[in-house]
Amino acid sequence: MTSEDFFKRIETQYHNQLPFVVYRKPNENNIFALRQNNTDLFFTEDFTEKGFVFSPFDELDKSVLIPTDVSEAISTDSIISKSYTEHVEVSNTNNLASSESKTFHTNLINKGVEAIKNDALKKVVLSRKENISLKEANPITIFKRLLNTYKSAFVYCWYHPKIGLWLGATPETLIKIEGKRFSIMALAGTQDFKGTLNVVWQNKEKQEQQFVTDFIIDNLKTAIESYKVSDVETVKAGNLLHLKTMVSAQLKSDVSLKEVITALHPTPAVCGLPKEEAKQFILKNEGYNREFYTGFLGELNFETKVSPRSGRRNIENRAYTVTKKCTQLYVNLRCMQIINQQAIIYVGGGITTSSNAESEWQETVSKSLVIKSVL
Ligand SMILES: C=C(O[C@@H]1C=C(C(=O)O)C=C[C@H]1O)C(=O)O
């Protein structure tokens, strides 16, 4: 489908207030969309359903599903758009609120550090939201800018008339599962990108990233056959750098996707350690509802044709190509919600015993630029 037709269909869907999701996976060209043909609100019961899942931070809240069987699936392989370079004017009307917001956030961070020093927590990810007034708020235009700006992110725009409209460009994969093989990303630690990947990381960042890797292994130990952990790598995400490792493993045959997701989400990359205590600290102290920020989203139980990994490439062998269930979920970071003429941007960072409130505040400011730069 041409990109004009593709985006026309998305615009029509939005205009008719029907649910849809449009997205592009990291470093890929194809842009996919699901257009739901009614306004019903569907939820996943046990993650055996097929569709695009949109899950909140608090796992006690329900995960929304755009089921494939009531949706039209469309795709295009490029974005050719006249409008994406138009600049939407931003007027930041909350400069006053911003100094209040800084005081609130730095106090929150100090409270987090105190809880860690008192041994109530080991790590906690603390966040805030920021409102920006938009003069023009066409989400499809903003989505195209995100596509053009963040090639290595998972870029999406998700809409349901009964929930709202979310957009984002996240650098973080929660999990990829193909059959019983899976990989999980442990991403944490942040510094500004200053032209090179060759940078020095402080112990604070190394430690907070290690917490995430250890958590993944500890929590999945009984569910997996064996596992491999990659070396720690510095990766670029927009104007920022993070530390990343990949954990790959084979799931035991009797383990369900629901068990894996329950064991993982929310990871210490977005919540903290111990998980339940950190979550309670967040719910009690952040002073707002994260909703879908730091939740996860993506393709649930999509069918993909997989060829055998080795063996002779002959016709006989090709007959063995199998259809496997594939799930690719991303953590909902570097995201915003659009309500009327307002963009609500969500940003946070990991707090450990050696966190400094001023630099943690600055980190959220840098993270907010990922989204602000396309508004
Ligand atoms: C919480 C966010 O990001 C997470 C926190 C990070 C950190 O504390 O360094 C880095 C990447 C993400 O795991 C966010 O972007 O809002």
Is 98 a domain residue?
no
Q: Which two tokens stand for residue 359?
A: 């630099």
Q: Is residue 21 one of the residues assigned to a domain?
A: yes
Cα of first residue to Cα of last residue in the chain, in angstroms, is 28
| Per-residue pLDDT band at 98 (split at 50, 70, 90) | confident
pLDDT digits (tens, 9 = 90+) for 196-212: 999 999 999 999 999 99
Omega before 274 within 30 of 0, i.e. cis: yes
Judge whether 172 lies within some domain. yes
When pLDDT is cut at 50, 70 and 90, the band that residue 89 belongs to is: very low
User: With a 6 A CB cut-off, is 334 part of the ligand 1 pocket?
Assistant: yes
Of ligand 1's listed atoms, the one at least distance from the Cα of 125 is 1
Is 210 a member of any domain?
yes
pLDDT at 94 > cutoff 50: no
**Residues 219-230 pLDDT 10s:** 999 999 989 999
343 vs 308, residue with greater confidence: 343
| 96 within a domain of the structure (yes/no) | no
Predicted complex ipTM exceeds 0.85 = yes
**What's the DSSP call for residue 102?**
H
Q: Rounded to two decimals, what is the model's pTM?
A: 0.93
| Residue with CA nearest ligand 1 atom 6 | 188
Decide if 97 is inside a domain: no
Which contiguous run of DSSP H or E holds residue 346? Answer: strand 342-351
Q: Is 375 in the pocket of ligand 1 (CB under 6 A)?
A: no
Cβ–ligand 1 contact at 337 (below 6 Å): no
Q: Is residue 101 part of a domain?
A: no
pLDDT for the residue numbered 318: 60
* Per-state percent for the chain, helix, strand, coil, to nearest 5: 30, 35, 35
In tens, the pLDDT along 158-209 reads: 999 999 999 999 999 999 999 999 999 999 999 999 999 999 999 999 999 9
Q: Is residue 342 part of a domain?
A: yes
Query: Domain of 46?
Result: 3-89+107-372
Q: Which atom of ligand 1 is nearest to the CA of 334?
A: 15
Number of domains making up the chain: 1
Question: Does the CB atom of residue 187 touch ligand 1 within 6 A?
Answer: yes
Residue 278 CA to ligand 1 center (angstroms) comes to: 15
CATH number at residue 157: 3.60.120.10
